[in-house]
Structure formats: C-alpha cells, structure tokens
Amino acid sequence: MTLRAAAAAALLALTLAVPARAAASLPAGVADPARVSVSGISSGGYMAVQMHFAHAETFRLGVGVVAGGPLNCAEGSVLNALGRCMKHLGDIPVSELVADAQRKAASQALAPLAELAAGKVYLFSGTRDETVDPAVMADLKRFYRAFLPEASVITKNDIAAGHTFVTEDFGPACDKPSEHFLNDCDFDLAGAILGVLAGDAQGRLPKPRAAGVPATTEFDQGEFVTGHAMLPTGRVFVPAGCTAQDRCGLHVAFHGCKQNTATIGQDFTDHAGYNRWAESNRIVVLYPQAGRTTSNPNGCWDWWGHDDPRYATRQGPQVRAVMAMVQRLLGGPAAAPVAACSTAFNGTHWWAGRATLTAFGSLQAKGSGQALGWWWQTTSLREWPAGRFTTGTCE
C-alpha cells in the first residue's frame, strides 16, 4: 500500500468512526400561546383540520387547508378516503360529519366547538387538481360553515394549478408536473395563508417578507413519539430573537403525501414560502414529519386510520405527538411521550426486531432485557425511547 493510499484509508476509517450528530431538541417557551395557527396540504390538509378541531383552544388564529376535506371524511375506511374524500366518487355526508363532530366535542374527544369562532379558515384548491377534486374542498367549506360565519371562511379557487402547493417563485411552471408538489404559479400561497390567519382584517401581515430563503433546522421528533408513522426528526424555523422573554407567533405546517424530508429533502420546509414571512413577522414555523410504513407507503398523515382508529380525535397518536411539540414551543407542561406499542406472540416480536433470544431459548425485550417467556406466549411491548422495548399495556 502506498503512503497516499494508507493516508486515505486512515481518513476513511476516522470518518466512519465519528458518531452521527444528534438532532437538536425543540426549543422551549419561544412561542406565544395567543398567536397559534395551522395549515397543510393534501393529507396534511386533512391533518390540519384534525388538529384544528381537536385543539381549537390552542389554534386560535385558525387553519389553512390546501386540497383537503372535512373532519373524519374517511370514517376509518381507505375506500372512502380514495373515493369520496379524494375523487368525490359519491357524496360526502357533510351533515352527518357535522353531527359526528358535535357528538365528539360533547364527549371531549374534540375541543369545544365554540372555540373555533376565534379564528379564520383559508381554503385553497387548484382548478386542475385531479388528486383531490375541488368538489371535496367545496364540501369542506360547507362543513366549516356549520361552525363559523361566512366572513370567517375565505376561499381561493381560481388558479389553474394541479395537486400542488403553489408558490410565487419556486418549482416547475404552474402547468407542469411537479414530483415534489410545489409549483411556481406566481401566487404566494404561504403568504396568503399567514396573512389571513395572522394578519389584519385585509389579510396583510405587518411587515413585508424577508429576502432570500430562510432555512429550517432539524429537531429530534424522537423526544415526542416513536413509531406511529412519524420520522425520527422534524424541521423548525425559529426567527432570531424569539425567546421565552420575547416570544413569537407559531404556525404549524403539515406536508402532504410523498412530501416529507426523507422523500424530497427540504424543498417543502424551506421553499413553500412560509419562512420568509415568518422571519420578518416573528413567527416560529413547525414542520412535523410523517413517515412511510407498510400500511402507509407514501408517508401520508393519518386521516383514514392507517395508524390508529382514533386518528381524528384528541387521542389520535399523531395528534398527541404534534401537540406535545406545540406545547414545548409554547412552554407548556411536558406531555407523556407517544410510544409505539405492539401486542403479539413473542416469536413475532423477535421476527420484528423487538426481542432477542436468550441462551436458554426464551425471549427478552430488546434494549431493556426484560424476560418475555417463550415464543408462543403473547406480550405487549412499548418502545421508548427508540430501540428500547419494555412490557406494558397498549392504549
């Protein structure tokens, strides 16, 4: 081996030996509880509606929805999700969904519906959207009008865009396909959403948007959730000067299917357009990240029950996980972690990597070493933190 080759090999070995940088913790207490809003596109639009109804007392400024639909539109059925809730194949039972929301609010599975009146609703649909038919968004408007006055529900549905988050200056031209679901349609959708929700009566924010492309930073989602079709890390934009002593507003932005950071990098989190307005107007922007699973191969948010049947209530695991992140930013009390949990034969736990064999042929929980017994016995295992399994009860 030459001296140069030996040096290269040593450098490679040193590089491989350096541990991966851990994601930072989400900052605590930098956002103002009185100035919180939420938005999302596609599955993220459905998720934004779920967050709004589950915690309207927190999202007091309201919600922005791009190509989404009414709360619990799928009613736990993927066939409903793919049919009436996307293609509008068959009528969406808006009146029944309104009644369902009223029942759930009465049982405290959702927020008190009177809390919705504090904010506004901004609805956007492209006229060329063939993924979520504009008629679905029309039904979402009807759904919200059951709870809010007409003046509080603002619609924008006159741009010839497809199933995409439109921008003023990023992505392919408006009439071109975009595999990242971001198109330059000469319209600042992020600015319009923030303007209606956090601006004045004319939908204008106090200060013009900042120049350039303010970038997000990575944070550790694993502090809040394991499993439940969510990635180990999320992204957040925190303007300079946002502290516990000088708090900023907060906006939560949900990506759509095939749009998380594992799939398209930081295109949505850094180029959708939120951060430029957030920097100049002192708004923290939280970008939670959903992940792919066998039952959710496109990395969608849970709006039909692919992760949990409680998806459209306060008890939905993804709703709880995101609210724990929101509470961290607001400086609220720490929420219990949302741990992945599985009940199965011990042999199945071993096959899935949740258990290991002992020298005597029995099984033990991976990470904790708790004894599980034999392969044919059934055990519930909770994962917290990531990679450490303990026996418990699945909720």
Q: What pLDDT sits at residue 5?
A: 47
Amino acid, res. 133: D
Cite the active site residues: 42, 129, 163
Map tokens 């929301």 to a residue.
Answer: 101
Q: What pLDDT sits at residue 337?
A: 85
Torsion over CA of 15, 19, 20 and 22, rounded to 10 degrees?
Answer: -150
Torsion over CA of 113, 73, 319 and 389, rounded to 10 degrees?
Answer: 140
Q: What pLDDT sits at residue 21?
A: 60
Judge whether 317 and 338 are in contact, CB under 8 Å: yes
Q: Which residues of the chain have pLDDT under 50?
A: 1, 3-19
pLDDT in tens, 286-341: 999 999 999 999 999 999 999 999 999 999 999 999 999 999 999 998 888 899 98
SS (H, E, C) the chain: CCHHHHHHHHHHHHHHHCCCCCCECCCCCCEEEEEEEEEEECHHHHHHHHHHHHCCCCCCCEEEEECCCCCCCCCCCHHHHHHHHHHCCCCCCHHHHHHHHHHHHHCCCCCCHHHHHHCEEEEECCCCCCCCCHHHHHHHHHHHHCCCCHHHEEEECCCCCCCCEEECCCCCECCCCCCCCEEECCCCHHHHHHHHHHCCCCCCCCCCCCCCCCCCEEEEHHHCECCCCECCEEEEECCCCCCCCCCEEEEEEECCCCCCHHHHCCHHHHHCCHHHHHHHHCEEEEECCECCECCECCCCCCCCCCCCCCCCCCCCHHHHHHHHHHHHHHCCCCCCCECEEEEEEHHHHHHCCCEEECCCCCEEECECCCEEECCCCEEEEEECCCCCEEECCCC
Name the residue ranges covered by the structural domains of the chain: 31-330, 340-391
Closest CA to 225 of 8, 40, 382, 14: 382
Region for 230 from its dihedrals, namely left if φ exceeds 0, alpha if ψ lies in -120 to 50, beta otherwise: beta
Q: What pLDDT sits at residue 22?
A: 78
The set of residues, in sequence order, having a beta carbon less than 8 Å from that of 105 and lying 6+ positions away, is 53, 111, 112, 113
* Ramachandran angles phi, psi of 269, nearest 5°: -65, -30
